[in-house]
Amino acid sequence: MPSHDPGRPGNRTPPLTDEEAVVARARSGDRVAFAQLMEHYQSACYGLAWRLLGDADRAADATQDAFVHAYGAIARFRGGTFRSWLLRITANASYDLLRHQQRRPTSPLPEPDEGQVELPDADAPNPVAEAARAEMYRQLDLALRQLPEDQRAAVVLCDVYGMDYGEVADATGSALGTVKSRIHRGRVRLRELLADHRELFER
Amino acid sequence: MTMQNHDHPPEERLAALAGGDPEATGDRALRSHVEGCDRCHDLLAQHGALRAALAELPDLVPSRPLQLVPPVPARPARSGWLTTLRGIAAPVMALGAGLAIIGAVGLGGMAAGGATGGAAPYSAMEDGNSDRGTTEGASNQPGAYGPGSVTPTAAASQQEARDQSNEPPLGDLTDTSTPLPWLVLVIGGAGLVVIGLVLRFSIQARAG
């Protein structure tokens, strides 16, 4: 299992302080500005790809594909949240890879490598709470991997990355009603899988 | 929240309610059931906690360094230009070599003609000219057919002999006897070969 972003444990990548200006420069063809944006959001994109694909190498491939697509499409970016726009591209790239994989002989998701789980930071202000939080993330990612593929994608896109039903439907190529059903059934299955770890989620 | 209602809604409805689904939140019967049912209330709380935990799952460090910006697209254009030159170099060299060979063969033919039968036509030309001069000189003196002069009948027979021996007409001898066209072919062909070689090696140096 990949390690969490060490710079922001337990958090998502915040927007750049001067993000609008950097995006404007990238839209006008400034490669340095584009690289700055990709470097800033690469952990977010890779995290999404890994949770959709369940494999480190393919997640890196999907993220790389997303950067290429983003480079070709950034001139058409029409405002809004850049992070959401880039995550939608990453979701599409991951789903393209998933469809390509489904057309070929499939291999089961590899077992998570326990040795790669990041240990809690002993110098954190509250190491016990940090350890409990890290364990909660680990159990969540393990449970997500056990969901059926369609339910996992729907729950990850909606509940982990905050996409609405329509965005999930676009990314997965599914009907709106199908997406709702997958999300709700996925949540139920996830709760059942984590029933033995309830204490991790009660604060 | 003390009454237990055993006619519970499907858990998917509770999951939808926890996620703020408009259809579920607008379902007054569902909400009033959850308020009066400990089991469903607890399940709704579990779903709420689960969603909150999912929403804060952290970003992950990529497993390998990623290329942040695609390569500059100018490179394929340059390789296309090089490909065109690479395609031109070989035909240029082949054309040059062909022209040089033709020129060399032509020069060789001229040299061989000069060494064997080439001198005969030229001497024949001189003979013919002297004969013609004699004939013309005789013709200027009507009726004076002295010793050493050639009669019109004899001149005609000499011309026939020249025709039968395939000697070129007197006026064409000047064109085929000069080696200049063959030399131009040889030098021009060699020049094209050199140009082709320069193109080829310059492409290799750039590609390498």
Residue-by-residue DSSP string for chain A: -PPB-TTSTTSPPPPPTTHHHHHHHHHTT-HHHHHHHHHHHHHHHHHHHHHHH--HHHHHHHHHHHHHHHHHHGGG--SS-HHHHHHHHHHHHHHHHHHHHHTS---PPPPP-GGGSPPPPTTSSSHHHHHHHHHHHHHHHHHHHHS-HHHHHHHIIIIIT---HHHHHHHHT--HHHHHHHHHHHHHHHHHHTGGGHHHH--
pLDDT band per the 50, 70, 90 thresholds, residue A82: very high
pLDDT of residue A79: 82
Residue at which a domain ends, from A110, A143, A160: A110
Q: Is the pLDDT of residue B22 over 90?
A: yes
Sign of CA dihedral B197, B199, B201, B202: positive
Residue at which a domain ends, from A110, A137, A171: A110
Domain boundaries, chain B: 11-55, 79-108+173-208
Sign of CA dihedral B61, A28, A78, A171: negative
Q: Is the pLDDT of residue A85 over 90?
A: yes
In this complex, the residue of B53, B58, B63 whose CB is nearest that of residue A9 is B58
Kindly report which listed range (A89-93, B25-29, B65-69, B112-116) carries the lowest average pLDDT score. B112-116
A135 and A78 in a common domain: no
pLDDT band per the 50, 70, 90 thresholds, residue B3: very low
The verdict on A194 touching B (C-beta cutoff 8 Å) is: yes
Question: Based on the structure, what is the number of domains in chain A?
Answer: 2
| CA separation for the pair A194, A143 (Å, rounded) | 7
A133 and A92 in a common domain: no
Strand, coil or helix: B165 = coil
A101 and A24 in a common domain: yes
A73 and A5 in a common domain: yes
Count Cβ atoms below 10 Å from residue B160 Cβ, excluding itself.
10
pLDDT tens digit sequence for B128-185: 444 444 444 444 444 444 444 445 555 556 656 555 555 545 444 445 567 888 889 8
> What is the mean pLDDT of the segment spanning B7-27?
94
Q: Which residues contact B193 (CB under 8 A, 6 or more apart)?
A: B92, B93, B96, B97, B100
Which residue out of A1, A140, A191, A196 would a mutagenesis test of the B interface target, given it has the greatest number of B Cβ atoms within 10 Å? A191
> Domain of A19?
1-110
The verdict on B15 touching A (C-beta cutoff 8 Å) is: yes
pLDDT of residue B196: 86
pLDDT of residue A88: 93
Q: Is the pLDDT of residue B1 over 50?
A: no
Q: Indicate the residue type of A23.
A: V
Contact list, B56 vs chain A (CB under 8 Å):
10-12
A134 and A95 in a common domain: no
The verdict on A40 touching B (C-beta cutoff 8 Å) is: no
In this complex, the residue of B15, B16, B68 whose CB is nearest that of residue A67 is B68
> What is the mean pLDDT of the segment spanning B177-194?
87
Kindly report which listed range (A109-123, B8-22, B28-42) carries the lowest average pLDDT score. A109-123
| A38 with B69: Cβ contact below 8 A | yes
Contact list, A44 vs chain B (CB under 8 Å):
59
A123 and A106 in a common domain: no
Contact list, B70 vs chain A (CB under 8 Å):
67-68, 71
* CATH assignment at residue A147: 1.10.10.10
* CATH assignment at residue A2: 1.10.1740.10
| B60 with A34: Cβ contact below 8 A | no
The answer to whether the CB of B58 falls within 8 A of the CB of A4 is yes
pLDDT of residue A157: 94
> What is the mean pLDDT of the segment spanning B120-135?
44
Residue at which a domain ends, from A66, A89, A110: A110
| CA separation for the pair A143, B164 (Å, rounded) | 108
| CA separation for the pair B200, A193 (Å, rounded) | 67
In this complex, the residue of B59, B63, B70 whose CB is nearest that of residue A5 is B59
pLDDT band per the 50, 70, 90 thresholds, residue A190: very high
| CA separation for the pair B167, A43 (Å, rounded) | 93
A160 and A70 in a common domain: no
Question: What rounded mean pLDDT belongs to chain A?
Answer: 86
In this complex, the residue of A10, A158, A159 whose CB is nearest that of residue B58 is A10
A196 and A125 in a common domain: yes
> What is the mean pLDDT of the segment spanning B93-103?
91
Q: Indicate the residue type of B203.
A: I
| B69 with A67: Cβ contact below 8 A | yes
The verdict on A116 touching B (C-beta cutoff 8 Å) is: no
A36 and A8 in a common domain: yes
A72 and A21 in a common domain: yes
Position with higher pLDDT, A194 vs A101: A194
The verdict on A169 touching B (C-beta cutoff 8 Å) is: no
The verdict on B65 touching A (C-beta cutoff 8 Å) is: no
A104 and A72 in a common domain: yes
> What is the mean pLDDT of the segment spanning A142-160?
95
pLDDT tens digit sequence for A6-45: 444 456 788 888 999 999 999 999 999 999 999 999 999 9
A181 and A89 in a common domain: no
Q: Indicate the residue type of B114.
A: G
| A184 with B54: Cβ contact below 8 A | no
Q: What's the distance, CA A4 to chain centroid?
A: 12
The verdict on B51 touching A (C-beta cutoff 8 Å) is: yes
